[in-house]
Structure 1
């Protein structure tokens, strides 16, 4: 390799994007290992340790095609007496079998407009009630998605603007292979002779149409069909130009020609492995770190490790059910074998949807409204598919694969950057947003490493003691004039979800519940409610006094920053003055709720009329300045993601470094079932189990050494989830929660109360030592502990209906 090329590759590794002239310099480069090294370096920058695939079924709607490519066995002329289109019943049968096997994609393959060439196609379509192949394709895509939930990926050949407009609401992605821009391939005796749809100019215009229509699109090149290396680079540059203009090229496929019996090119030489590796490396160099570059694994059996080394990050669609109808001689690798061979390269095999994550996470731009909800509710925070049944609040076991990773030993091999982040976190250094986000992306062995490190840090800071508090929730009203999109608890004329009846509690009922809680061993009442239109700051002062009059020894943990802000505003006094009055009335600590995600990018959608991030922090800092300690929380897993979580955690850390006022951090995973934003189709199904566990572990690492207590919510995580979190940095199980109502209103199965003996069974079952604590993490008298283990059943709750806020 000459010095000029070496210098050029070094520039590429430093972030330089090759120009057309520079890319063409590589046409004669023969040092393939050096090219592969650069390509692998770039791939790792953009895709970390992940190689993706789509679990699919192959639906060959018809084998008829008006083109006659001389290497193709998929396209066949009609034969007398043979069916030329799959029937709806046949299509659905394949789709249902695939869905039962966990497939997410239905790949529709078909020839290009066969009705323009064959009478048999026209007659068959007419019998099916359609004039065109694309009309029938639209009907079948709609049928499959509605009946099975599979996401159609459409490869129908060239499409007009009208075709794209019809198909876009029915499929999240489509594709067409460019194959080559070499015009010489159209000449007589060449691969594309007699195939009008393979004209490069026509093909490229089809790709531009998809770009203008904002359809996430797949394309690529077919190598070894008579083109030169320089022509391959020209083809890649043409694809790059289109992507630069429209941004919709979600992947580039490099497919190696395979000679097939019965075709005119049956004796043509196939490209060897070096030719494929050279092309893959050049593709990565031309496109850079971010592009998804795919190679079909079934066309290079036994050679998967060098393919990964050449810079790919995707294996394409792999079916556990149907063969590759385009290359029927090449069976798909078994998914377990594919995962094993991928792991042997140091990479982790991850399933994706037919639409790639970066496009799934921008549904307003890249998805038709008809497709948005089903995609949003199928993905996790990174845009990968949810592959588990577990959701927060549901009575479903956690995924076994994640539990095994949690139980595993610290892996020997960890990404150097991730290891450096973990080392700095353990030292108590402040991480930046990018570093915290990177921790949230951990999968496979990296997930084990993050959780193990967090738990080691927990043991160092807290020992093996796990604490909990005996408390009662008193939600004094569910009437609220705010319209938070995640809330299924609040009721009233201005709310959107009226599950249950609106109520207010009188002071006598608040006092009765307080006294009953004390008689059952509670040391705390946790008080929050809706923001009732008639409530002022004086209401909250009166509620606090009522509790202290009923039981002077009860700790009052009450009023979110939203209630504090509204209370001060309604009295026309400063936050400091209002908080001082609450403290004088008997307020002990503030709950750190109403924070949801402390990033206004999220809050503008999730809770637009609520206090903003700066106001939430202002309430907390003011409280801390008065000696009022508070908890801190995050409610996550809806429309947010790792960067938002990072900003939230770092904001908490920075305030704690100044004030020291937070007692703990409490992750609250989004419970989706009855949440308005989920019912409107705009939110995910809460975090995945991996994400939920990681929130606890990453919080431990990010907040160290300033916030030392990390709590898990048994109401959201369930008993088995709690056990997992106790092995990922958690040292506190929160409250026993007599009368938990807010999470259950959202649809959770867990709730009401976890008695002390059940708390302690879980803790001891994790080989840890239980300890009852006070709200600010002090000791509680032995008398309180004894009473809590002898508690009588709770009496029935008493409510006063707020009839003026009911709807007929």
Structure 2
């Protein structure tokens, strides 16, 4: 192979964009095997092992069309259909069948501008109150969205700017196949002869207008209709030029022509599989690793491996309800069978929404607010459709469908065969087990684990947990006191904080004085608590002395109680109001009785995310600064992450790496606590700006990946029964977690967000969660010292926690336990 060809393929594989001439050179000279190998590597780099599909219904609004393409059986004449257009009732009946079958998308297929050719179409539109097919389409798309919740994807053909603008408010996405940029195909005898809407310039103009209006578009080419390979490349390059200018081509379809009886091209030769694979590979090289490239699986039954190896990352729309109206002879594959065949070739089938995942993650940019909200609420952190109905904090146990991936894990564990895991994922797990720092891409890969790879990540985390801290499930008897919900900050995710006069959401504004806080602490001590956790809003009248007063009151009422209090935000507020450096103020708090800090206010330690959810709060560097200084003066802390709102897995990776880096310097974190976002009463969610919390898979994986990434520096991974519920917490205990947190008397922050798991959990309930995993329950102190038990195996409480010790010595102690 010439050096120039090798160099170009290496450049593409490493993420470089190829010039037009270079693309043509590869198309003419590169061996097929080299093209396919490069395209597959690029696809795996851009999309991992995931292969998307959209579960949809096809609504053939009209089969009348003014064009007469030589290969089409969809378009027909008025005398061959019961009516020119589907009625509203017929449209809704199809849509409702789709909802019943679990679809997210309503794909409107239709002919182009039949009213310009058929009087029957004009009369039917007039009776429906419209003068254009596109006007009626807009009404029906809005009706389907309003009445069924399905998200419309519309394929009306060529459009002017006003028509695109008309359809945009009720369309999650739009589509128009370029098919080919070759004007030669529009000449006499060609497949597009006398098809004015198939003139390449007209179709490219529609795509250009959509780009100018910021509308996400699906497009692509149809191969095998008489074009040459060079013309295919020219078509792909014409699309790339538009995408470079506007960034609006969400996916490229490479569809193979199928000869159909009764058409002009009934006897034409269909493209061979190698020819199709070559074109897919060239499309990948033209558009790069990130573009979503699809081919319809029903047009290549039994030949899907070749399409995957060529660069496909998506199978497009598949309907469990309606046939493929454009290719009615080609039945859709059963989705379970497609998943199995996809898995057979080392990939994972994943349900997506009408927008491909990368566009869902930027939904606010691409679609109107109501549709962006609907997309976000149905999406997971990667932009795919949520695969389960589990919601953090609701108190509703996971459904059988949500538990299915973990049930399969049990079956896999009973087998002697090793799970098929990709080499990069296996390498990342091995590095984590060795205690080495992982890279951001490695961590994102761990979070992307599905199927057998999910099992591998969970198993590795559980192994590390067993080796590091043993079998016991620990917990602390504690009391949560949220002394005020009045806060001068306006974090978008928070349903707890109120203004002075607030009376909305979950209760009015309040403030407990120091005596009330002390009384609650004393009550908790008498009930066996060894820790009091105090946090509140940033009250505008609080100063640094306010926090010192709370410490003094609790210390006087319960001298032996461990005081775990004040987030880094409160620490900064207290120091600023007294004009003290952070170090001096933390020393004053320590000397007044503060023993440890909660790791809250961290949310996501990435300022890109913080700008969206808590712009007026402390930034990442400020949070880390408070923690580092606290550790240096002998105050240890927890570390948390609040996930499942607007962030992506790469932000999770950055957060974990920031925590690990600080722990490597100070050794001051006692535990890491994943906190799934509870969305129900969140202002940001109500405004349509956040997802509906993490999926069950994401929540469990967060515990597993944290165990791997933070090993061996942070030995304790806590799962929140308040957020996860009993069943979810048990799953996390089998995925790297070793701690159930506290009994949390008076817990109120999660309840303010809409949580329903209660204010407290008795020891017996926690023991039942541990026992469901075959593990014993052990009471601990805040600093993870084991507390003694009586003869009946019950914890002895009411005593003083052991004295503080050097945090680095504590890590060594925990790691050897």
Give TM-score, length-normalised by structure 1: 0.95
Deviates more, 1:80-89 or 1:309-318: 80-89
Match of 2:602 in 1: 595
Counterpart of 1:484?
491
Contact 1:557 1:590 in 2 (8 A): yes
Deviation at 1:790, TM superposition (A): 11
SS of residue in 1 equivalent to 2:79: coil
Q: Which is further off, 388-397 or 97-106?
A: 388-397
Q: Distance in 2 between matches of 1:7 and 1:230?
A: 21
Alignment of 1:400-439 (within 5 A): 400-407=403-410, 408-409=412-413, 411-439=418-446
Structure 1: distance between partners of 2:520 and 2:429 = 46
Residue 2 of structure 1, CA deviation? 6.4
Distance 1:465 1:790, change over 3 A: closer
Displacement of 1:764 after TM fit? 2.0
Q: Determine if contact 2:607/2:620 at 8 Å carries over to the other structure.
A: yes
CA displacement at 1:497 relative to structure 2 = 5.0
Give the deviation of 1:483 after TM superposition.
1.1
Q: What residue in structure 2 maps to residue 536 of structure 1?
A: 543
- Looking at structure 2, the residues matched to 634 and 151 of structure 1 have their Cα atoms a distance apart, in angstroms, of 32
CA contact (8 A) 1:522 1:784 kept: no
| Cα distance between partner residues in 2 of 1:34 and 1:599 | 40
SS in 1 for 2:62: coil
Say if 2:505 and 2:681, in contact at 8 Å, map to a contact too: no
Distance in 1 (alpha carbons) for counterparts of 2:76 and 2:356? 32
Retained in 2: the 8 A contact 1:772–1:785? no
- C-alpha deviation, 1:749, in angstroms: 1.3
Name 1:441's counterpart in structure 2. Answer: 448
Quote the residue 2:235 is aligned against: 235
- Aligned pairs for 1:420-569 (under 5 A) are 420-493=427-500, 497-569=504-576
2:608 is equivalent to residue 605 of structure 1: no
Q: Residue 504 of structure 1: SS of its match in structure 2?
A: coil
Is 1:295 the counterpart of 2:295? The answer is yes
Is the CA contact (8 Å cut-off) linking 2:788 and 2:796 kept in structure 1?
no
Distance 1:775 1:95, change over 3 A: same
Q: Distance in 2 between matches of 1:20 and 1:581?
A: 67
SS in 2 for 1:525: strand
Deviation of the 1:498 alpha carbon = 4.4
- Structure 1 residues 651, 784: CA separation in 2 closer, same or farther (over 3 Å shift)? farther
Shift of 1:387: 2.5
Structure 1 residue 721: deviation in Å? 0.5
1:93 equivalent in structure 2: 93
Question: In 2, Cα distance between the equivalents of 1:464 and 1:255?
Answer: 54
* Aligned equivalents of 1:732, 1:368: Cα separation in 2: 43
CA spacing shift, 1:110–1:789, aligned 2, 3 Å: farther
Q: Match for residue 725 of structure 2?
A: 718
Cross-structure match for 1:794: none
Q: Output the CA distance in 2 between the equivalents of 1:521 and 1:757.
A: 14
Q: CA deviation at 1:287?
A: 2.2
Q: Which runs of 4+ in 1 moved over 6 A?
A: 783-791
Secondary structure of the 1:61 match is strand
For residues 223-273 of structure 1, give each alpha carbon's deviation from its aligned partner in whole angstroms, at most 9, with x where no partner exists.
111111111111111111111221111111111111111211112222222
Match of 1:653 among 647, 656, 660: 660
Change (3 A) 1:276 1:539: same
1:14-64 CA deviation, whole Å, 9 max, x = no partner? Answer: 444333223223555594334322222222221111111111100000001
- CA RMSD in angstroms comes to 2.0
What is residue 796 of structure 1 aligned with on the other side?
none
Of 500-509 and 204-213, more deviation after overlay is shown by 500-509
For residue 405 of structure 1, report the CA deviation from its aligned partner. Answer: 4.6
Report the Cα distance in structure 2 between the residues aligned to 1:543 and 1:784, rounded to whole angstroms. Answer: 37
Matched, 1:730 2:741: no
In 2, the alpha carbon distance for the partners of 1:89 and 1:656 equals 62
- Which residue in 2 is equivalent to 1:78? 78
Does the C-alpha gap of structure 1 residues 495 and 406 become closer, same or farther in structure 2, counting only changes over 3 Å? farther
Quick one: structure 1 residues 550 and 493, their matched pair in 2 at CA, closer, same or farther if it must change by over 3 Å? Answer: closer
Deviation digits for residues 636-680 of structure 1 (CA, Å, limit 9, x no counterpart) = 111111122122111111111111111111111110000111111
| Helix, strand or coil at the partner of 2:394 | coil
Partner of 2:353: 353
For residue 363 of structure 1, report the CA deviation from its aligned partner. Answer: 2.2
Cα deviation code 1:710-761 (max 9, x no counterpart): 1000000000001110111101110011121110111111121110111112
> Residue 360 of structure 1 contacts residue 383 of structure 1 at CA under 8 Å; is this kept in 2?
yes
Partner Cα distance (2:139, 2:538) in 1: 49
Cα offset, 1:776, TM superposition: 0.8
Counterpart CA distance in 2 for 1:40 and 1:595 is 39
Equivalent runs, 1:634-645 vs 2, <5 Å:
634-645=641-652
Q: Which moved more, 1:678-687 or 1:403-412?
A: 403-412
Q: CA contact under 8 A between 1:439 and 1:450: conserved in structure 2?
A: yes
- Structure 1 distance, partners of 2:141, 2:718, is 46
CA distance in 1 between partners of 2:58 and 2:463 (Å): 47
Give yes or no for the alignment of 1:745 onto 2:752.
yes
Residue 322 of structure 1 aligns with which residue?
A: 322
Partners of 1:114 and 1:23 lie apart in 2 by 39
- Distance in 1 separating the partners of 2:429 and 2:558: 46
Report the counterpart of residue 183 of structure 1 in structure 2. Answer: 183
Name the SS of the counterpart of 2:93 in structure 1. helix
Matched residue SS, 1:592: coil
Instruction: Give the Cα–Cα distance (whole angstroms) in 1 for the partners of residues 773 and 128 of structure 2.
Output: 62
The 10-residue stretch of structure 1 (517-526 or 427-436) with the greater mean CA deviation from structure 2: 427-436
Q: Report the counterpart of residue 68 of structure 2 in structure 1.
A: 68
Q: 2: distance between equivalents of 1:775 and 1:719?
A: 22
- Using a 3 Å threshold, how does the CA distance of structure 1 residues 368 and 16 change in structure 2: closer, same or farther? same
Aligned ranges 1:95-110 → 2 under 5 Å: 95-110=95-110
Corresponding residue SS for 2:244: helix
Work out the number of aligned pairs and report it: 791
Seen in structure 2, the aligned counterparts of structure 1 residues 320 and 494 have a Cα distance that, compared at 3 Å, is: same
Are the aligned partners of 2:59 and 2:109 in contact in 1 as well (CA < 8 Å)?
A: yes
Contact in 1 for aligned 2:419/2:453 (Cα 8 Å): no
Shift of 1:3: 6.6
Q: Which moved more, 1:9-18 or 1:499-508?
A: 9-18
* Structure 2: unaligned runs, 5 residues or longer: 799-817
> In 2, distance between residues paired with 1:753 and 1:547?
20
2:804 corresponds to: none
Q: Distance in 2 between matches of 1:621 and 1:497?
A: 37
Distance change in 2, residues 1:178/1:211 (3 Å)? same
**Residue-by-residue CA offset, 1:680-721 (whole Å, 9 max, x unaligned):** 110100111111111111111111111111100000000000
Which residue does 1:42 correspond to in 2?
Answer: 42
Residue pair 1:473, 1:737 contacting (<8 A) in 2 also: yes
Give the match for residue 629 of structure 2: 622
Q: Is the 8 A contact 1:478 1:530 kept in 2?
A: yes
* Residue 304 of structure 1 pairs with residue 304 of structure 2: yes
The aligned counterpart of 2:806 is none
